[in-house]
Structure 1
Amino acid sequence: MTQETNIRRHTISVLVDNEPGVLARVIGLFSGRGYNIESLTVAEIDASDSLSRITIVTSGTPMIIEQIKVQLERLVPVHKVKDLTLEGPFIEREMALVKVVANGEKRVESLRIGDVFKARVVDATISSFVFEITGTADDLDRFIDLMQQLGEVDISRTGAAALSRGTSTL
C-alpha cells in the first residue's frame, strides 16, 4: 500500500483542563507540524472539575496519527487522548444552520427536501428559510448540495461531536 492510499480520516477526542490557552496550544501542535484539522469542536463538559472535551477530525497515515496522539498526550493540560476511529464503534454528528433564499416552486422544494432530511425550519421570511439540521458530515454535505441547486445558500456549520458507543468513556 502506498503512503498516499494509507491516509485515513480519524476522530480524536481529547480531555483537557478548561483554562485559557489550552486550545491555542492544541492548535499550535497541529499547525507547527503541518497537520490539517478538518473539524474542531470544544466545549466544557464538567464545570466542577473545569474540564473540556476537544473533538478533532484530521487525516493522516497511521504513523502521523500516532505522532499526533503522542504529542497531544505530552501537553500539560491534557488528561486523556482517545482515537475514536481505532477504539471501536462511535457516534459522530454535526449541526448546521442553512439559509436558503428561493421563491416559487424552489421554495416549496426546499421545504420538501428539508422534511426528507428531518431538518427543522428555525426562521422563515417571504423569500428565505433557515434550516437546522443534525447528522453525519455526509448527510449535511448532501443536504447542502441539494439546497444550493435551489437558490442562494448561506451556511454556518459546527465541527464534529463524537462519543464512543457502549460503556467506554473518555
Structure 2
Amino acid sequence: MSALNIKKGSTSHSAYDLRDPHAEIAGRHTLTVLTDNDPGVLARVAGLFTGRGYNIESLTVAEVDHKGHLSRFTIVTTGTPTVIEQIKAQLGRIVPVHEVHDLTVEGASVERELALFKVAGTGEKRVEALRLADIFRANVVDSTLESFVFEITGTPEKIDAFADLMRPLGLADVARTGVAALPRGI
C-alpha cells in the first residue's frame, strides 16, 4: 500500500496495471426461468443458489400462463461468466424448469421495478418531496398531514436515485418488488 492507501494496479487507469488480463470480471446478470407452477419450485430454485453460495439480489415470481400452469422467475444475481453459466446449467437440470435465459447477454431487454416510498416531513421538505416526485413521475398513493407514500416504477437505477434524493427529506420506509424483465423484440 502506498502512503495514500491506494493499491498499485487496482484500476485500469493506473500507470502500473497489475491486474490479471485473463481474470474474469463479475457482473450483474438478469436471468429469467420458466417453470411449472407447482408447490416447492421456489424452494428448489432458492436452494440451488443457497447451496452453492450464490447470492440473489432480486427475485420476482408470478404465474404467467394460467392454462399451462407456468410461472416466470426473474432473478438478478452477480457472478463471473463461468459462474453464471454454472447457474444456468444447474437451473436447467431442475425437473419443472422449461427455459432459462440470461437477458444480460442475449440482447436488449426491458427491466422495471415497482417501489413504494414513505416520506415523512413538513414545510419545505414536504414541498421538495412533491417536486422531486413529479420530476421522477412518482404518484402519490397516500397522504397524511405528516407523510406521503409515493409509488414509482422504473429501472433499479432510477429507484435507487429516487431513494437517495428522498433520504434527506425524511424517507421513513421503502418496499420494492424486485426486477421484472422481458427480452425486447420477437
TM-score (norm 2): 0.88
Which residue in the other structure is 2:97 paired with? 78
Which residue in the other structure is 1:31 paired with? 50
Which residue in the other structure is 1:124 paired with? 143
Distance in 1, matches of 2:111 and 2:22, equals 28
How far did residue 33 of structure 1 move?
0.1
After TM superposition, where is structure 1 displaced by more than 2 Å over at least 4 residues in a row? Answer: none
CA deviation string 1:103-147 (max 9, x = no partner): 100000000000000000000000100000000111000101111
Greater Rg over alpha carbons, structure: 2
The percent of aligned pairs where both chains have the same amino acid is: 64
Distance in 2, matches of 1:152 and 1:37, equals 25
Distance in 2, matches of 1:94 and 1:40, equals 11
The code of the aligned residue for 1:141 comes to D
The code of the aligned residue for 2:31 comes to I
3-state DSSP of counterpart to 1:6: coil
Distance in 2, matches of 1:129 and 1:18, equals 37
Which residue in the other structure is 1:62 paired with? 81
- Give the total of aligned pairs: 166
Distance in 2, matches of 1:88 and 1:63, equals 18
Distance in 1, matches of 2:143 and 2:98, equals 44
Which residue in the other structure is 1:143 paired with? 162
3-state DSSP of counterpart to 2:45: helix
RMSD of aligned residue pairs (Cα, Å): 0.9
User: For the Cα contact (< 8 Å) 2:35–2:70, is it kept in 1?
Assistant: yes
